[in-house]
Each structure stands twice: as C-alpha cells, then as structure tokens.
Structure 1
Amino acid sequence: MKHELDLSTPPSLPKRGLRVTPLGGLGEIGRNMTVFEHKGKLLIVDCGVLFPEENQPGINVILPDFSSIRGRLNDIEAIVLTHGHEDHIGGVPYLLRERKDIPVIGSELTLAFLSAKLEEHRIVPKLIEVEEGQRRTMGPFDLEFLAVNHSIPDGLAIAIRTEAGLVLHTGDFKMDQFPLDKRLTDLPGFARLGDEGVDLFLVDSTNAEVPGFTMTEEDIRPAIDAVFRTAPRRIIVSSFASHVHRIQQVIDAAVLNKRKVAFVGRSMVRNMGIAEKLGFLNIPKGVLVDAKALERMKDNQAVLICTGSQGEPMAALARMANREHTIQIGEGDTVLLASSLIPGNENSIYRVINGLTRWGANVVHKGNAKVHVSGHASAGELVYCYNLIEPKNVLPVHGEWRHLKANADLAIRTGVPADQVLIVEDGIVVDLVDGVAKVTGRVAAELVFVDGMTVGGEGADKALADRLQLSNDGAVTILGILDTDTGKLAEPVEFISRGFVHDSEWVAGATKAINDAMAVANKSSRVDGRAAEEIFTASVSRWMQRKYRRMPVITSVVVDA
C-alpha cells in the first residue's frame, strides 16, 4: 500500500497493459471521473462535478481537469455512467463541448437525467442505453453491466475486460436487502466475476469508516411516518433532486395521511417528472398538485418537496430561511431534511436550520431523528465484497483520504497483499501489467472552476483569491493627480473604500505613507504615472499590513495634471 506525491509524467504504457487514471473523486466527495487506457484507446467512467465550499465564493461547480486527455479526445471510445447523481454526470456537458459525438453509455434513468441536462447546454448527445446483465464492446474494452442499489434507482457496476485483465468498478453502491424498488445489488454476479479472476477492484470508500452494514431504506419509514402523523401545519421536505427513493417514501406518507404534494424548484420538478414518466416513481392520481394550488388548501393538507438540503444559498430551502422565497415559513410548519450532511457543508446547513427555526418551524434532520440512511456500503458490506471477489489488486475510490485509507485497511485485513492495495489521489497514474498494479506517474488533475459562463481560465485562481481577500479585508481605491514635469503630486490623494471602515487618522497615515514613498522615488528619477500607481499600491499595502494587520485589495489610479 503506497501513495506517491512527487511523481513525473508516466512512461509509455506497455502494449498489453491497462492504465487507470482517476481525474476526480479521490481525496474528495465529488467530481468523480476515471480514465482507462488500453491499446491506444480511452474509456471514461463517470464525469461529475464537485460543489464549491464557503471559501470558494462565486463558483458554480468544480470540474475534473480534462487537460491530460484534451489532446486525445478522438481516442475516447465512450463515457460510461454508473448512475445519475450530479457528482457522476454533472461534468458530462463540459466534456461533450470539446467533442460532441463521444458515445455516452448508461441506464435508462441515468441517461434521462443526463439528456435533460444536455438540453440546457444545447447538446444533442449520442446515447447508448444499457441495463444490468448486458455486455457491450467499445473498441478494446469489453463491458459488462451489473445491478447495484444506491440512493438513486438504476445504478450500475461496470466490469471492464481487456487483454490486460478484468477490472470491476462498483460505482456508488450498498447491499440493501430490502430495497424499495426490489432491485438487489448483484452479488451472484460479483461472485461470478471473482471466480473468473478480478485483477483490479475499484470500490466505493465513502462509508468505509462506518462499522457494520448500512441501514435499509425501509428503516427510516417509521420516522417519516411520525413526522406526517404529528405535523400540525405544512410539511416542507428538502432532498436531493435525484433522490427518487426518498421522494417515493415522502409521497407514500402523504397519501397515507391524506395530504397533497407539490414539487418546488426547477431541478426537482424536472427530475421527478422524468422518474414518474419512466416508472421509477409512483404518484397516485390526484396527489400531485401545482405549488400555487397548495395556497388554497388547509395547511394540514399540504406537503412541499424542494431542493436545498445542503444549505445551497440559491436553493429553495435557503431562500425560505432568508425570507426571500414566495413560500413563507411560519409557526407550526415542519421542515424535514431528508438527506445526508455532506462533509464541508455543515456550516451552510446549520445556518439554514437556524433560519428556519427562527421563523417558528420544527426542523427534523439526521441529527435529531432517523430520517436518512446512506446510499453507500459500510465496512461490513465492503469486507463481504472483498471475501466474495478476492481481487488481486485494490484501488479504493470515491472518498476523502480517511475513507480511502479505511477502505484499504479493510482490503488488507481480508488478505489482499498490502503492496497490491493502492491509495492514490487525483491525477496519480496506475498501470495494470501482467496482473500487477503499480503507480507509474502523475498527470494534471487541478480543480477547474465554472465561474458563471466561464470554465477554468488562467485567471480563475487569482480571481478567487481576490474575492476571498475582498470578503476579509475589503477594497481601497487611491486616486492621484501627477505633475509630470516635476514627478510630484499636484493635489492630495483621495481614497474610496468598500468593505473597510476608515477615519481621518487612517487617511492621514495612508497619505503620509504615499508622500514619503514618492519623495524617496523622486530622488532617483522623476516619477511617471505608471510608477506612481505602483508606489501608491505598495506603500499603502505595507503601511496597512504593519499598522492594521489588514490587506485590502488596493487599486491605484494616477492621471496627469
């Protein structure tokens, strides 16, 4: 077991070798993407997004870094999608912008969710629908698809056969024995592949630290039913817009308690409409109504299902908490957060909970009721898979460092040799040659920011740093008039500040810092406009840091007298 941080570009891949390069999803929860290379061709499994944290203001989403494959787009045989969550499909439109005819392979629901997303990007994709039990050849890759259950229907594990060996990629999965859709994870299929000989096992690590087995979806039904039985007024449920199983449980509880349901939010309305049309969501006739229709009903008959369970500032629930939504939260309303708490989102989520509580809502969440179960396999399930499959090499995927390490430890405890269990991060290249997996190099795998309509760009990191600096220290603009004949200021400088409180003492100190610096500079040579701007910025920055321990963004403008 090893990881390498100081690696160079990998050497040429041996003719019968298979190269595996994760470009996202390792060391983080999100932007999952893995590139497989064999015989000069590429296969991509998943292409998702990562959602920004609080220290990344103004960023929409974060993409995998495509730079290592950008010069080889024509070598890509297909993009294979394991399931329809944003952290696995959200990046596909951005990759298809670079080559629109890449075939995209996935299950019915996954491709339906993706198609709706691609319509917004005005991309007409080349889609190949598959289902569990099928096999399909794409170039040198022989693909087999196996059913897995997760927190979204129609998930698939992918078996990839090549001349270099057999790879099994679980995608996101768990082993729920009582799934709502009766679709079990295909453990007989896993066992069959194990008998054939799995040379490399890529396995979901998210819950590797959690002992035992993940609870079934059925286990949370009593808590949801209790909310519906006891809520005196409206019930507002917040969930991921793709969590079809959880929405089904909410609808079932609404039917049982004679309540009407309305979806709120564009993505929720779109996805649930798709799920119902394809038969993955069962809504009895007359239960679903328009959100405006609920306004005419009694409060104890209304259920609203919206997005925003992670505290996203623009999502419906956060806007309700801030009194910025047409739906006004009031005394006696019940808000049910029916989803997990993703690491890094804690502050945002609790800010929303506090806001809702302030307006009188009773907020039910994972911290005070059993209203969520994970969609990922816990340690007991992972150990079961290792013993069932007996892989030769293991590459833990989908998780932060602590999850990857915990998963690797489980593999070793079941008998996989330690030097055949690889803990790597995004961009680390692993080659499978003659049945042995080894780290052979590194490629670029930087965070690629989507900022409004801009994707990446050389100035993205600098712009983000400036935003953080502005949020912490504010901004100061310095205006000066220069006598170009003498190199001296014709008038005292003026200051305009934003996000920084200054008084006459500050103005006097900053003015003195500039005047002293200009005097020193003019002793050497006559100062021109460009030099004066640099002097303004540098002198005030030094003085501010020394005097106030502040570093505002300073912009200096000097005009000729």
Structure 2
Amino acid sequence: MAIDVYDPVELAPGTLRLLPLGGVGEVGRNMMVYEFGGRLLVVDAGVLFPEEHHPGVDLILPDFAPIRDRLDDIEAVVLTHGHEDHIGAVPYLLKLRDDIPIYGSRLTLALVEAKLKEHRITPLPHVVAEGQRITLGPFDLEFVAVNHSIPDALAVAIRTEAGLVLHTGDFKMDQLPLDGRITDLRAFARLGEEGVDLFVPDSTNADVPGFTPLERDIGPIIESVIAKSPQRVIVASFSSHVHRVQQVLDAAVANGRVVALVGRSMVRNMGIAADLGYLRVPEGVLVDLKTALELPDDRVVFMSTGSQGEPMAVLARMANNDHRIEVGHGDTVILASSLIPGNENAVYRVINGLTKLGANVVHKGSARVHVSGHAAAGELLYCYNIVKPSNVFPVHGEYRHLTASADLAVETGVPRERTIVAENGIIIDLADGVARVAGHLDVGYVYVDGSTVGEITDADLKDRRILAEEGFISIFVAVDRQTGKAIVGPEIQARGFAEDDSVFDSVRPQIVAALLEASNNGVTDQHGYSQAVRRTVGRWVNTQHRRRPMIIPVVIEA
C-alpha cells in the first residue's frame, strides 16, 4: 500500500504500536520497538557495517532518539539470535540504561555477555528457550524455534490485548539441519489457527525463487576443495557462523590438517560455542596461529574473519600483504559467505588482491561453498499459507526484498491493503485486527567513529568523501581591511589535487582582483573576504579542472 507520511497520531487505548528503528529498507541494524499501554518492548538491537561512502566509520547504530526519553518505559530487550546485525547495538543501548533486562537463548546471551564485558557493562540476562512462554508487563511472549545460520535462533509471538504478532527474526526452513533443530512449523500452524493479526517476517531472500539449499550439502564441497589444495587453505566466514566452522573442522580432520582460528571475534565466538557444546571440536584439530605458521603448508587450514571485505579484518589485510599469514601461489582461499548488499565492491577488491598474490579464490559464484541463512520465496509461501495472517509487515531487507515478500503474501490471499511496505521510522498501529500506518518519525544513522558515538554527521562524511575523492586546496592571503589589497599572498597549498604548484598561477591574479572588487562592494570583514576567495577559486577549479575539492580560505586582515 502507498504510504502518506505524517506526524504520529496519538496512541489510542488498546492499540499496539510498532516502530522500526533499523532493518526495514536495509540489511542490518535490526531493531523493532513495540509499544502497548505505555510500555515498550525492544526486539533486537543490531549494527550495520559501513560501506565505502562511510569513510572512517566503524559501525552504524539504530537511531535511539525516539526512545531516548522513554528508557524507563522499556520492559526488556528480546534478542532473536546472536548475529551482529541483531545484537551489536545492545552495548550502546545499555549505556543509556544499564539495567534493562535482556532475554534470549543460551548461545545468544553468551555472545552478548562477552560483547558487554568488553564495554564493562554487567547485564541482566534471562535465558529463554523454544516452547517457553513468559509475561513482561502487558506483553505475553512465546518463543518458537527457527533454523538459521547460527544455532539457537528464536521467533517470538507477541500477544497483547490488541492481538497476536508473529515476529520471525532471521530464519529458513532447512529440513536436515546440522544441529537437528528445524523451524517449528507446527508452532507456526498453531499460532495461525489461533489467529495471527500481524506477521513480521524475515524478507532478505523473498526475491529468490524456490528453496534455500541444505547446509549439509556444503560440507562435502568444502572437504573436496581442501583435498585438492596443494598448500595452505584459508576459509573466511562470519565469526558467528558455528555451522560453517564445524564443517571446516570436520573437513580438516578428514584431510589430516589442523585448524587455526584467526581474528579476535572468531576466536572469542567459537570459544563460547565450544564451551556451551554448540561446536564439536575433534581432539587435536585446533592449534594457535603461531603453531600453525610453523607447520607444513599442506597440513594447515586457517579459519578467519573478513568475508565481507571489511578493510581491517583478517582477509583484507592478507590481500594487502599486511598480515602474518602471507598468501602466495598455490594457496586456496574459500569465501564461505553470501554477499551482504552494499559490500560487493569491497569483497571483489579483496578477491582481486588475493588472486594477484597467486591464490586460488573459491567463492559462492564459482562453487557452492555457502548457502544463505534466510528463507527463499518458496519457504515464505509455505509460511504465509500456514500462518494465514490478517496483516503483513515484511522486515529485514532492502525495499525490493520487502516488496517481493508483500507480493508473496498477496499471492496466498492476504489483501494488498493489508500489506505494509515501509521504511525505518514508519509507525504501524494494530487495532481491531487491522494494521495501519500511523505516522513517520525522522530516524537516521548513528555513526560509531573510534571512541565517539553519534558525533559524526552526514555532513562530516561528505567532507571526508570530498577530501578522499577531490582533494583540498587552502589559500592564505593577508589583505588591507580598507582597500582589499593583497599584502601577502595569495599562497596556495593543495593535497590530492595537483602536484605542480604552477597550476595555480592563473588563479592568483583572479583572487587579488576578487578581493579588490569585494572591497569596492563594501566588504570590510574577514568573512566577506574569505567568501570572495572561496567563490573565485571554486569557479576556477570547476571550470578549468572539472573538480570540486574542499576549499579552505584563510584571510588575515591588516
């Protein structure tokens, strides 16, 4: 349905409100706020990883502004699973109020607690499991097992007086999962019989026909690639992909190799998974990096981070020859992950770098070394038919994914006007069995840049992009305040624009003339002279060089 954006209406009694602060219209930064009876329930709080147009940014958070003044109204944070795009922002939320209870599965909470420890935050964790039902204020929650690319993922059914919402979190319908834990379609059907008033499904692969392939089909392929590799093997994956690491461990054992985990998050997360029994580590297979580097090349597998081309991650550093593991001819690199939208250029840059060093790079485009953790169109159709929701609000996907998911709902009989394709900040109200758009809040990106949070703005990033792409020019000149005559200068310095300073010879007389003209037009202050210099240099550089560098005039009045 079309969305008319307007200020939020007052929340009527008996109405459930949904406010997405991230994850709608994008893949990452997932965070949904439910409100009923003046109380708030937060489902997931994740991060988005920066792209090329976010220079210097480490992480991107949801915008907490709409709930910043209502932190005491939050009943709890419920986490569907342990991936960064669902838990990565939890420390930043708890810095605003550190006693918010956190609910999640055993593995999810263990990963969160390790993250919070780094931020010196002691959480209030509450372990929940599939089949469990709890009450938090006006919210009655039931947890449902779903299969994903990390163990212990949960969907959550949220009951209030306004109706029943089924929020899937990330899921797929692998019928032969490695851990034997399938998506509980019986629970989905039972909830459907009860009457799901609003379905909030993962839509990442809604535009992919058919069904997501089985995880177990990947193991033999990885084992075969390792068997054919004459030297070292490097496998890059998400640091929380327990199933993929398990397959690599098993494949290494089958080929008489040992495995070294590389990357701080990989070592931390797999240690947690092994301690809790989610990762089965064959005896003697794991060695530390130092030991692995001393072993023959054909006896080692390195399991690393960096599958999305992150510039500071292990794999990118290898591609840049900036890591202890020096990739060379005969080495094999396996990228065991899907491409997150927006990361394509970064990943291909890493692939090219590794290939240039002589490595054989195997990725999803050349061999089935990864399957997605998200339900494809065929699986979503099954869910829509089983759940039979009255209303649908697709989440977790770019706009094309959300639209495809809504189209699938319509094909199964959901009226088009009962599907809502929205974006972050769009408010959805559920009342009397109908979900409606109730307003739009202006929510944006919050950037983590080093130790600062939220201090970097889009304008700052624009300046950084200009500096990186167009260079910068500074002009120093001392002028007579009364006449505008240049007494010293203009002296011009440039970086990233032109190596030969003689290129500015033609613009110096123009700057002198512009200062005199500004004085004749009544300018007598430093700001007015600076603007005259900026306009003159900007016009010259655009006309003569077709460039738009950052221009910084420094005018001193004498």
- Which TM bucket (shorter chain)? over 0.9
How far does the alpha carbon of each residue in 1:243-290 deviate from its partner, in whole angstroms, 9 at most, with x for none?
Answer: 000000000101111111111110100000000001000101211111
In the alignment, the residues of structure 2 paired with residue 210 and residue 461 of structure 1 have an alpha-carbon distance, to the nearest angstrom, of 33
- Paired position in structure 1 for 2:25: 27
Residue type of the alignment partner of 1:509:
S
Residue type of the alignment partner of 2:146:
V
Residue type of the alignment partner of 1:408:
A
Residues 34-73 of structure 1: pairs in structure 2 closer than 5 A: 34-73=32-71
In the alignment, the residues of structure 2 paired with residue 529 and residue 20 of structure 1 have an alpha-carbon distance, to the nearest angstrom, of 52
- Paired position in structure 1 for 2:524: 527
Alignment match of 1:430 (pick from 428, 431, 447): 428
Residue type of the alignment partner of 2:66:
S
Residue type of the alignment partner of 2:553:
S
How far does the alpha carbon of each residue in 1:79-124 deviate from its partner, in whole angstroms, 9 at most, with x for none?
Answer: 1000000110111111111111111111111111111111111111
In the alignment, the residues of structure 1 paired with residue 202 and residue 2 of structure 2 have an alpha-carbon distance, to the nearest angstrom, of 18
Instruction: Determine whether 1:547 maps to 2:505.
Output: no
- Paired position in structure 2 for 1:517: 514
Residues 300-449 of structure 1: pairs in structure 2 closer than 5 A: 300-449=298-447
Aligned 8 A contact 2:523 2:529 in 1: no
Aligned 8 A contact 2:476 2:489 in 1: no
In the alignment, the residues of structure 1 paired with residue 145 and residue 62 of structure 2 have an alpha-carbon distance, to the nearest angstrom, of 26
Aligned 8 A contact 1:486 1:526 in 2: no
In the alignment, the residues of structure 1 paired with residue 501 and residue 440 of structure 2 have an alpha-carbon distance, to the nearest angstrom, of 55
In the alignment, the residues of structure 2 paired with residue 504 and residue 201 of structure 1 have an alpha-carbon distance, to the nearest angstrom, of 63
Aligned 8 A contact 1:9 1:442 in 2: yes
In the alignment, the residues of structure 1 paired with residue 21 and residue 523 of structure 2 have an alpha-carbon distance, to the nearest angstrom, of 53
TM-score (norm 1): 0.97
- Paired position in structure 2 for 1:157: 155
SS at match of 1:493: strand
- Paired position in structure 1 for 2:260: 262
In the alignment, the residues of structure 1 paired with residue 313 and residue 508 of structure 2 have an alpha-carbon distance, to the nearest angstrom, of 45
SS at match of 1:530: helix
Residue type of the alignment partner of 2:155:
A
Instruction: Determine whether 1:166 maps to 2:167.
Output: no
| 1:456 Cα deviation from its structure 2 partner | 1.7
- Paired position in structure 2 for 1:489: 486
TM-score (norm 2): 0.98
SS at match of 1:395: coil
CA RMSD of aligned residues (A): 1.3
Alignment match of 1:203 (pick from 185, 201, 207): 201
Aligned 8 A contact 2:482 2:519 in 1: no
In the alignment, the residues of structure 2 paired with residue 506 and residue 516 of structure 1 have an alpha-carbon distance, to the nearest angstrom, of 18
| 1:491 Cα deviation from its structure 2 partner | 2.3
SS at match of 2:507: helix
Alignment match of 1:227 (pick from 225, 233, 250): 225
SS at match of 2:506: helix
- Paired position in structure 2 for 1:78: 76
- Paired position in structure 1 for 2:103: 105
Alignment match of 1:506 (pick from 499, 503, 518): 503
In the alignment, the residues of structure 2 paired with residue 94 and residue 174 of structure 1 have an alpha-carbon distance, to the nearest angstrom, of 29
| 1:417 Cα deviation from its structure 2 partner | 1.2
| 1:489 Cα deviation from its structure 2 partner | 1.4
Structure 1: gaps (5+ residues)? none
SS at match of 1:53: coil
- Paired position in structure 2 for 1:3: 2
How far does the alpha carbon of each residue in 1:168-212 deviate from its partner, in whole angstroms, 9 at most, with x for none?
Answer: 001000011110011111111111111111110000101111111
In the alignment, the residues of structure 2 paired with residue 526 and residue 104 of structure 1 have an alpha-carbon distance, to the nearest angstrom, of 61
Residue type of the alignment partner of 1:312:
E
In the alignment, the residues of structure 1 paired with residue 501 and residue 211 of structure 2 have an alpha-carbon distance, to the nearest angstrom, of 65
Aligned 8 A contact 1:43 1:80 in 2: yes
| 1:484 Cα deviation from its structure 2 partner | 3.8
Alignment match of 2:555 (pick from 555, 558, 561): 558
SS at match of 1:68: helix
Residue type of the alignment partner of 2:451:
M
Count residues with an aligned counterpart: 558
Residue type of the alignment partner of 2:35:
E
Q: 1:174 to 1:539 in 2, by over 3 A?
A: same
How far does the alpha carbon of each residue in 1:342-396 deviate from its partner, in whole angstroms, 9 at most, with x for none?
Answer: 1111111111111111111111110100101010111111111111111111111
How far does the alpha carbon of each residue in 1:213-247 deviate from its partner, in whole angstroms, 9 at most, with x for none?
Answer: 11110111221111121111111110000000000
- Paired position in structure 1 for 2:448: 450
Aligned 8 A contact 1:67 1:444 in 2: no
Residue type of the alignment partner of 2:536:
S
| 1:527 Cα deviation from its structure 2 partner | 3.2
Structure 1 range deviating more: 551-560 or 32-41: 551-560
| 1:422 Cα deviation from its structure 2 partner | 1.0
Aligned 8 A contact 2:328 2:357 in 1: yes
In the alignment, the residues of structure 2 paired with residue 504 and residue 77 of structure 1 have an alpha-carbon distance, to the nearest angstrom, of 63
Aligned 8 A contact 1:487 1:528 in 2: no
In the alignment, the residues of structure 2 paired with residue 390 and residue 460 of structure 1 have an alpha-carbon distance, to the nearest angstrom, of 43
